[in-house]
Amino acid sequence: METVWVCRLQFYIFFFLLASSSISVGGSNILFFHGVSTASHRTAIWPLAEKLADAGHNVTYIFPVTKRLGSHPRIEEFAPSKMVPLIGDFVSDFDINIRLNDQEMEWMRQAYSQSVVFCEAFYDSPEIQEWLARPDLHYDLVMLDALGECGYGLVHKFKAKHILFVPLLAPFLHDGFGLMPETSSIPELSLHYKPTELTFFNRVSNTLMILFWRYSYLDFIRNVEPVIKDKLNLTEFPPIAEFEKNTSLVLINNHWVEDYPISLPPMFVSFSGLGCKKEPVANPLPEKVSKFLEDADGFIYISFGSAVVASAMPISLRDEFFAALKSLPKLRFLWRWTGRVPDNTPENVLLLPWFPQHDILAHPKIKGFVTQAGRPSTQEALCYAVPLIAIPMFADQDYNADRMEYIGGAIRLDIKNISSALLQESIHELAYNPKHKERMVELSNMFKDRPIDPLDNAFYWTEYVLRYDTSLLKPLGINQTWYQRRLLDVYLFLFVVAGTVAGTVMFFTVMIFKYAFALVFSKQQKTKAE
Ligand SMILES: *[C@@H]1O[C@H](CO)[C@@H](O)[C@H](O)[C@H]1NC(C)=O
Ligand SMILES: *[C@@H]1O[C@H](CO)[C@@H](O)[C@H](O)[C@H]1NC(C)=O
Ligand SMILES: *[C@@H]1O[C@H](CO)[C@@H](O)[C@H](O)[C@H]1NC(C)=O
Ligand SMILES: *[C@@H]1O[C@H](CO)[C@@H](O)[C@H](O)[C@H]1NC(C)=O
């Protein structure tokens, strides 16, 4: 009798432990922080913040852009007022002319130097100072966006764990997390090589470029450290590279359909496809839009994303676009266009500052999407199986466009090379050759076929960090130097050993030959003499 009870008790305890190890640990305080970002950065991670709030966590969300979609009654949001206009000037209004004049690399490098200025503005913003002065303010977990290094001050202040969420494996991240960059086969982001173009010398620059990025990143974070120390009145602030090593988890917005098949250690968890439903539902379109599409065979959606101002393009380029669209009268075009609507806009083109992108992409009449190939737009196109014309502008867009072209999901064009004829031909091909749609349906199915919903997965891993210490998930190489990680010391050693051995062998061979020659020669001399 007694043993039965003991058994039962054991069973209950076991069951309780099992249950408590996997149920939600609701009731933690979680802080999201974005540094340099466009509106799309929030779109990418916001569903996770909502899910955490729904599960009973207190969520605070800091985002330096005021243009935003949706809110949540249980999420407290801040837009640091001194930081918002600076970010707006820098990133939210990317000028196509920067691309046309080949200045986008310099523009990207400025993100580093500008981040220091943004960080000062963040801590100087009155609402942030008020918030920081609240008594008993405390957080268990800080979620940091890429280029949100300023937020390490908050990690330090709250003695919190932190998770990094990144749009992709940026070239400066590898060495911070002990990863060996796969530069032999995977193109580096800023050089714009296609995977088929990695010749010997391109692999050399591919490899050096990653070292260069890391070097300039380390230089940049050293400039952020004194700002944080000063603004938080700290006497001591550890190097940011040390915080980087202490990162509990990296949530990465990539999937092997839209990105190359990169090898990542267990501390990297993909959250690509948050918000993409397996069987997407489309809401009806606004009346103005649905009227416009009423008697059309099909339509093409054009959007260069939230950051690019299409209306700022040179008039000659705009007229190339308009001429191409006008020459395809059976199709309608919806173009996300901020600014003045030009008088010569063709009749089959509707320019509006905003479209409900999900519902547009889910519409049965859509034939294609002309995009800058930002990560969220590429993912949404995959989600709804809409074939692409990719015209990249900056950041990771060339990389994404190259990947999509490589797997047959996009026709890639160069904005500098656009003519109405090329554009017309490409749009005609996309809309009327069924192979593009068929391939995109295939890719879409592969993208959406998951063992677990990406949002549930990201939520699970976020709570996993709250439950455990995650050091077991980290690559052992995290504590190695850049040359140990690349085995350069080993190859150098082997090279020296092989050289020494070869040299020694050669030396003795020569000696033996010399000796043998001398011997034979002297013998011959002897015989001749006799
Ligand atoms: C979460 O917020 C609620 C309401 O503001 C507060 O009562 C509660 O103490 C907070 N939880 C924690 C863990 O701080
Ligand atoms: C730092 O010190 C200054 C001056 O004493 C004060 O105004 C400010 O609020 C402090 N900042 C923080 C974050 O404690
Ligand atoms: C990193 O983690 C180690 C071990 O937990 C700790 O001693 C150290 O203070 C941490 N460093 C930073 C900068 O958080
Ligand atoms: C520019 O367009 C022409 C055809 O119109 C094409 O042959 C060429 O490869 C393009 N160049 C670039 C850089 O895309």
pLDDT tens figures, 481-515:
999 999 999 999 999 999 999 999 999 999 999 99
Of 86-95, 134-143, 213-222, 285-294, least confident by mean pLDDT is 86-95
Dist. CA 33–CA 83, nearest whole Å:
13
Ligand nearest to the CA of 479: 3
Look up the CATH number of the domain holding residue 266: 3.40.50.2000
Provide mean pLDDT across the span 185-205: 94
Ligand nearest to the CA of 412: 4
Please state the atom number of ligand 3 nearest to the C-alpha of residue 243: 13
Which residue, judged by its Cα, is nearest atom 12 of ligand 2?
232
Dist. CA 473–CA 343, nearest whole Å:
59
Assess whether the C-beta atom of 199 lies below 6 angstroms from ligand 4. Answer: no
pLDDT for 57 beyond 80: yes
Question: Same domain for 475 and 507?
Answer: no
Identify the pLDDT of residue 14.
46
Q: How confident is the model at residue 16 (pLDDT cuts 50, 70, 90)?
A: very low
Dist. CA 515–CA 512, nearest whole Å:
5
Please state the atom number of ligand 1 nearest to the C-alpha of residue 28: 13
Assess whether the C-beta atom of 243 lies below 6 angstroms from ligand 3. Answer: yes
For tokens 């620059």, what's the residue? 205
pLDDT for 15 beyond 50: no
Identify the pLDDT of residue 337.
94
Does residue 117 fall inside a structural domain?
A: yes
Question: Which region holds residue 178: left if phi is over 0, alpha if psi is between -120 and 50, else beta?
Answer: left
Question: Same domain for 241 and 294?
Answer: no
pLDDT for 388 beyond 90: yes
Token representation of residue 105: 């690399």
Measure CA of the first residue to CA of the last residue in the chain; give whole Å.
117
Provide mean pLDDT across the span 15-44: 74
Assess whether the C-beta atom of 425 lies below 6 angstroms from ligand 4. Answer: no
Ligand 1 centre and the CA of 59: distance in Å? 10
AA letter at 169: L
- CA angle 298/412/393 to nearest 5° reads 105
Of 19-28, 48-57, 137-146, 326-335, least confident by mean pLDDT is 19-28
Residue 259: count of CB within 10 angstroms of its CB: 22
Assess whether the C-beta atom of 470 lies below 6 angstroms from ligand 3. Answer: no
Which residue, judged by its Cα, is nearest atom 2 of ligand 2?
233
Q: How confident is the model at residue 21 (pLDDT cuts 50, 70, 90)?
A: very low
Dist. CA 398–CA 413, nearest whole Å:
10
Rg, Å, the chain Cα set: 29
> H or E segment at 479?
none
Which range of 305-309, 392-396, 422-426 scores highest in mean pLDDT? It is 422-426
3-state class of 94 per DSSP? Answer: strand
Token representation of residue 136: 């008993």
Token representation of residue 467: 């439950």
Does residue 259 fall inside a structural domain?
A: yes
Please state the atom number of ligand 1 nearest to the C-alpha of residue 138: 14
Ligand nearest to the CA of 247: 3
Dist. CA 277–CA 420, nearest whole Å:
36
Question: Same domain for 184 and 267?
Answer: yes
Does residue 16 fall inside a structural domain?
A: no
In sequence order, the β-bridge partners of residue 281 are none
Q: How confident is the model at residue 145 (pLDDT cuts 50, 70, 90)?
A: very high
pLDDT tens-digit readout, 445-461: 999 999 999 999 999 99
Ligand 4 centre and the CA of 109: distance in Å? 27
Which of 57, 58, 75 most suits a substitution to test ligand 1, by most atoms within 8 Å of the C-beta? 58
Which of 159, 225, 246 most suits a substitution to test ligand 3, by most atoms within 8 Å of the C-beta? 246
Identify the pLDDT of residue 111.
79
Question: Same domain for 466 and 373?
Answer: no
Q: Domain range spanning residue 321?
A: 287-448
Q: Is 307 exposed, middle or buried (0-12, 13-18, 19+ CB in 10 A)?
A: buried
Does residue 12 fall inside a structural domain?
A: no
Dist. CA 381–CA 358, nearest whole Å:
9
Question: Same domain for 473 and 443?
Answer: no
Does residue 262 fall inside a structural domain?
A: yes
Mean of the per-residue pLDDT values of the chain? 91
pLDDT for 68 beyond 80: no
Question: Same domain for 437 and 462?
Answer: no
Does residue 8 fall inside a structural domain?
A: no
pLDDT for 116 beyond 60: yes
Ligand 2 centre and the CA of 234: distance in Å? 10
Q: How confident is the model at residue 306 (pLDDT cuts 50, 70, 90)?
A: confident
Q: How confident is the model at residue 22 (pLDDT cuts 50, 70, 90)?
A: very low
Ligand 1 centre and the CA of 58: distance in Å? 6
Identify the pLDDT of residue 276.
87
249-252 and 141-145 beta bridge pairing: unpaired
pLDDT above 90 coverage of the chain, percent: 78
Ligand 2 centre and the CA of 232: distance in Å? 7
Please state the atom number of ligand 1 nearest to the C-alpha of residue 136: 14
Bigger pLDDT: 4 vs 26: 26
Token representation of residue 139: 């957080």
Assess whether the C-beta atom of 422 lies below 6 angstroms from ligand 4. Answer: yes
Provide mean pLDDT across the span 224-238: 96
Provide mean pLDDT across the span 175-195: 94
Provide mean pLDDT across the span 51-61: 96
Dist. CA 370–CA 217, nearest whole Å:
33
In this structure, what are the phi and psi dihedrals at residue 336, rounded to the nearest 5 degrees?
-70, 110
In sequence order, the β-bridge partners of residue 141 are 30, 161
Q: Which residues have CB under 6 Å of ligand 2?
A: 129, 132, 232-233
Identify the pLDDT of residue 12.
52
Dist. CA 198–CA 182, nearest whole Å:
12
Identify the pLDDT of residue 10.
54
Question: Same domain for 254 and 334?
Answer: no
CB 139 within 8 A of CB 132: no
pLDDT for 367 beyond 90: yes
In sequence order, the β-bridge partners of residue 180 are none
Q: How confident is the model at residue 212 (pLDDT cuts 50, 70, 90)?
A: very high
Provide mean pLDDT across the span 266-273: 95
Question: Same domain for 159 and 213?
Answer: yes
Which residues, at least 6 apart from 519, have a Cβ–Cβ distance to it below 8 Å?
Answer: none
Question: Same domain for 109 and 129?
Answer: yes
Which residue, judged by its Cα, is nearest atom 14 of ligand 4?
414
pLDDT for 401 beyond 90: yes
Q: What secondary structure letter does DSSP report for 148?
A: -
Q: Virtual CA dihedral for 473, 476, 481, 484, nearest 10 degrees?
A: -140
- The 3-class SS string of 390-446 reads ECCCCCCHHHHHHHHHHCCCEEECCHHHCCHHHHHHHHHHHHHCHHHHHHHHHHHHH
Does residue 321 fall inside a structural domain?
A: yes
Assess whether the C-beta atom of 238 lies below 6 angstroms from ligand 3. Answer: yes
In sequence order, the β-bridge partners of residue 120 are none
Provide mean pLDDT across the span 238-265: 96
Ligand 2 centre and the CA of 327: distance in Å? 63
Question: Same domain for 432 and 504?
Answer: no
Question: Same domain for 80 and 146?
Answer: yes
Please state the atom number of ligand 3 nearest to the C-alpha of residue 239: 13
Q: Is 125 exposed, middle or buried (0-12, 13-18, 19+ CB in 10 A)?
A: buried
pLDDT for 6 beyond 70: no
Please state the atom number of ligand 3 nearest to the C-alpha of residue 238: 13
Token representation of residue 120: 């000062």
Assess whether the C-beta atom of 172 lies below 6 angstroms from ligand 3. Answer: no
How many structural domains does the chain have?
Answer: 3
Token representation of residue 130: 């008020």
Ligand 1 centre and the CA of 357: distance in Å? 36
Ligand 3 centre and the CA of 141: distance in Å? 15
Question: Which region holds residue 395: left if phi is over 0, alpha if psi is between -120 and 50, else beta?
Answer: left
Helix, strand and coil in the chain, % to nearest 5? 55, 10, 35
* Spacing of C-alpha 62 from chain mean position: 19
Ligand nearest to the CA of 27: 1
In sequence order, the β-bridge partners of residue 454 are none
Please state the atom number of ligand 4 nearest to the C-alpha of residue 421: 5
Assess whether the C-beta atom of 242 lies below 6 angstroms from ligand 3. Answer: yes
CB 24 within 8 A of CB 52: no
> H or E segment at 300?
strand 298-303
CB 334 within 8 A of CB 354: no
Identify the pLDDT of residue 107.
80
Identify the pLDDT of residue 334.
97
For tokens 């922080």, what's the residue? 33
Of 4-8, 42-46, 459-463, least confident by mean pLDDT is 4-8
CB 141 within 8 A of CB 31: yes
In this structure, what are the phi and psi dihedrals at residue 303, rounded to the nearest 5 degrees?
-150, 130
3-state class of 274 per DSSP? Answer: coil
Ligand 3 centre and the CA of 156: distance in Å? 10
In this structure, what are the phi and psi dihedrals at residue 464, rounded to the nearest 5 degrees?
-60, -40
Helix axes 39-54, 375-384, angle to 10 degrees: 70
CA-wise closest residue to 163 among 245, 250, 58: 250
Does residue 17 fall inside a structural domain?
A: no
Question: Same domain for 266 and 357?
Answer: no
